[in-house]
Amino acid sequence: MGTPEQIKSHTKIPPFIEIMDSTLRDGEQTNGVSFLPHEKLMIAKMLLNGIAVDRIEVASARVSAGEKDAVTMICRYANQIGKLRNVEVLGFVDGKKSVDWIAACGCKVINLLAKGSLRHCVGQLHKTREEHANDIIEVVDYAKSYDMDVNLYLEDWSNGMKDTPEYVYGLLDKLATKRIKRFMLPDTLGVLNPLQVVEYMRKMVKRYPEVHFDFHAHNDYDLAVSNSLAAVLSGAKGLHVTVNGLGERCGNAPLASVQVILKDQFHAKTSIREKRLNDVSRLVEGYSGIAVAPNQPIVGENVFTQVAGVHADGDNKANLYSNALVPERFGRKREYALGKTSGKANIDKNLQELGLELTPEQTIKVTQRITELGDRKKFVTQEDLPYIVNDVLKHNVPEEKVKLISYMVSSAYGLKPVASVKVEINGMQYETEAMGDGQYDALVKALRKIYKDYLNRTFPLLTNYSVTIPPGGRTDALVQTVITWSNGDKTIKTRGLDADQTEAAIKATFKMLNIFEGLNA
């Protein structure tokens, strides 16, 4: 396609690009997605008022009673905020049926689905181009009697231009003067590449310079965004998108991606409020049940997360790893991942965010602990960090007098768990096993046995035991175990942190044993 400058020298980008969102119609054709009427209303409100898209396509006519209820509610709301003609419904060339259905919902715009290729016209309708054009004109005239705006989809336009362009031109020649507000050109099967879009769109714009053309992309070859851009560069005045790229098969052009490329790469003007893009993405993700990929541009969970410590260091010094896609632009914030590649700079960034101040020595210890967890492929989040700080800094014993050398815990259905443990206490190693009501209980009973049989000492009494995880509900979250112990008149509380609950409890236990060993020294 060439550079943006080369392309722009051969074409003129319209001063303003209309964005029509079809999440509630075309996006609902995603396998397994069906929005309830109140969900459609909530998404419509967000799109019209929050995101400020120019138009929304909310349904297909004559689908169901529930669909009619949804369209009626959306139109009632749109009328209240003065945007009734920003709501559109797909209708069919079926005489008066679709128009009557749409009018009964209170809607004022019909997107009429016509055939944009000879193959579809003959193979599906069994009609000539002239017969189909006359049927379209009949529906257009009837819609005008309801004071409806009419937009016309040319279904399979992409194949029409590839195989039978004379059919497309003949249809437009007859319809271009029939009070149709917009002609909408779909790549219905997602078969075009950007060079073809440029060629075909330029031909349409040159032949019909007064016509408003929209382009509707599908993503079968992962080219929906590129093709949408090519259409605008070739004179299209409007683009169709869906939130999170929902749509049939591989989906449609994603709203967020189309917006940022238009604005940043080609300085095109749209009405979109970018700060709400993440909000609408989360809303649709929740209602649709279709998860957004973590690396989905703009709205993915990980796209504003730096992993390598060198990146955090560069950001600290001169924002060396930033571009125009700053997270604050989209109502988000930069995050710095915690793991084996984090490094001190990442830790510092997260500590600053949480308002935690550590000495350089303490930061080194925390960094070492995070690296250790990362080596074990544990996922560490910012929410985990206060727990890790507590784990590293609280009750940290300079010299370990009681060490865990090895242990094994076995459990089987219908049988009590058994623990075998080897420990070193003041330079001497001891080994035994015991049975318990749970894995941790078995291990503690084995330790008690060592203290009683080999040392003739009392093992501290466990008086309270609690388990917490950082917020988020992940099954791979770090577990913090806090245990309260008493030994005579001494009571202490120790904590352990690990992805495994038993491991966390064991760490808390050995911290306790070292503290009591120090007190008894």
**Would you name the residues annotated as active-site residues?**
25, 155
- Cα–Cα distances (Å) from 130 to 137, 167, 478, in that order, read 11, 10, 68
Is the separation of the CB atoms in 119 and 146 below 8 Å? no
Distance between CA atoms of residues 217 and 17, nearest Å: 15
Instruction: Provide the b/e sequence for 475-485 (b: ≥16 CB within 10 Å).
Output: eebbbbbbbbb
Residue 407 phi, psi (nearest 5)? -155, 160
Is the separation of the CB atoms in 87 and 136 below 8 Å? no
The two tokens of residue 13 are 């980008």
Helices (H) and strands (E) in the chain, counts: 18, 16
User: What are residue 484's DSSP bridge partners?
Assistant: 464, 493
Site of tokens 């808390």? 508
Other CB atoms within 10 Å distance of the CB of residue 141: 12
Distance between CA atoms of residues 145 and 174, nearest Å: 20
User: What are residue 379's DSSP bridge partners?
Assistant: none
Distance between CA atoms of residues 250 and 29, nearest Å: 11
Helix axes 37-45, 65-80, angle to 10 degrees: 30
* Identity of residue 512: M
Other CB atoms within 10 Å distance of the CB of residue 474: 12
Is the separation of the CB atoms in 62 and 89 below 8 Å? no
Question: Counting beta carbons within 10 angstroms of the beta carbon of residue 492, is it exposed (0 to 12), middle (13 to 18) or buried (19 or more)?
Answer: middle
Q: Which of 69, 16, 26, 17 is nearest to 243 (CA)?
A: 26
State the sign of the Cα–Cα–Cα–Cα dihedral 9, 12, 15, 20.
negative
Rama region for 180: left / alpha / beta (φ>0; ψ in -120 to 50; rest): beta
Helix axes 37-45, 277-288, angle to 10 degrees: 170
Q: Which of 77, 17, 68 is nearest to 47 (CA)?
A: 77
Q: Per this entry, what is the length of the chain? A: 521
Residue 222 DSSP label: S
Rama region for 267: left / alpha / beta (φ>0; ψ in -120 to 50; rest): left
The two tokens of residue 258 are 């189309």
- Dihedral (C-alpha) 20, 25, 29, 34: value to the nearest 10 degrees? 130
